Amino acid sequence: MTNNEWIHKEIEKWREEGIVDGPTAETLLLRYTAPQGRYHLGIVLAGVFAALLIGLGVISLFAANWEYLDRGMRAFAAVLPVLICGALALLAVRKSWNSNIFWEPLGLLWSISVVAGTSLVAQTYNIGGSASGLVLFTALLSLPVVWFTNSTGAMVGWLIFPIAWSSMKIDEGDSMSFWLGLRTLAFLALSIPAYISFLKHKPQRFLLTMGQIATGFFYVGEIAFILLSFAGDPSSSEAVVLLIWLAALIVGVCAWVFHLPVWPMTSLLVAGGASLFTTYGMEFYIYLMSILLALATTGYGVKRLRRGYVNIGAFLLQWQILVKFCASDQDFTVKGLVMISCGLALAAINVFFVRYRNAKREGSHEPQA
């Protein structure tokens, strides 16, 4: 464990134990880990981009010469990238290569190879079955890659499979039903061990944060789809908004129980995004719940001194005001003045919050009498 990794771990422990607040912890992390993190992150992202280019280049070469290959050569060409990635992974384990610079690109390239190889073998040998069956089989084959490499890109990419599978089942004649939702839930649950392994692996901070944000959005979206399936595809917009809120609440509770610091913000963004689609014709209780959500978010941000939550809550509150007001019969002059007032109010909230936060921090550092 490097010095930066040890400091990062200790600061996270201090934040969980309440020794330092969130903003102070962020400042400490930036001060003691940012220089190495930026250099490290640039190398990792370059490696990921290189892996994408290599994967797409290999696929293009195969596509250009595909018609000239016999069946055996096609199968070998489809499987070869998977075998090469597996050999590199075994070599890395033997040599104890634990850096994200190696494992992030390898996990992504390995996953792409599995997906492409499975599709090419199925096409080469004219394997029958449905498209949803192929997606499920490919997901099961690529899941060990996600577990083994702890790659952010591979993990986030794998979460596309449940969505694709559910959509294909509907295209194949299945309806939005409890049974489809239950099967989608079981499919999604396969990713949980891989996600736990990813969190324990503690990748570079940016990759950890981006991984949590992306997986949070995927989990909320897919749980919302599952709830919609349980409800039998409700037709009313109010029911859809409520189910999305419920999905965001489920993910938010999981974040609180399992101490996932980024998921609450992600859940609020999804819930807030659902409330943005409320229209003038919706029931009053939808507007009321949207306003309560906005106020609760703002209050939480003020209490925890987190400006991101304050801004999200203030924006959601003003959006609900604008939705109601702009749908009224007022002329454009009045509507324009209201919009300007909302913009000035949002700026004023930020200025007030910064001053309030600074005052709280200064007060906490004053010596006790």
pLDDT tens over the chain, length 369 residues:
455 666 777 777 887 777 877 777 777 766 665 444 444 556 666 777 777 777 777 777 777 777 777 888 888 888 888 999 999 999 988 888 877 778 888 888 899 889 888 988 887 777 877 889 999 999 999 999 988 888 888 888 898 999 899 889 988 888 878 888 888 888 988 888 888 887 777 666 666 677 777 888 888 888 888 888 887 766 667 777 788 888 888 888 887 777 776 777 777 777 766 766 655 555 667 777 777 877 887 887 777 777 777 877 787 777 777 766 666 666 777 777 777 887 787 778 777 877 777 777 666 555 444
Q: What's the pTM value of the predicted model, to 2 decimals?
A: 0.66
Helix locations, 96-204, DSSP H: 100-124, 131-149, 152-158, 160-171, 178-189, 192-201
Tokens 């010469």, residue located: 65
Q: Tell which phi-psi region holds residue 233, choosing left (phi > 0), alpha (psi between -120 and 50) or beta.
A: left
CB-CB neighbours of 160 under 10 Å: 13
Burial class (CB in 10 A: 0-12, 13-18, 19+), 347: exposed
Q: How far apart are CA 130 and CA 169, in angstroms?
A: 9
DSSP state of 367: P
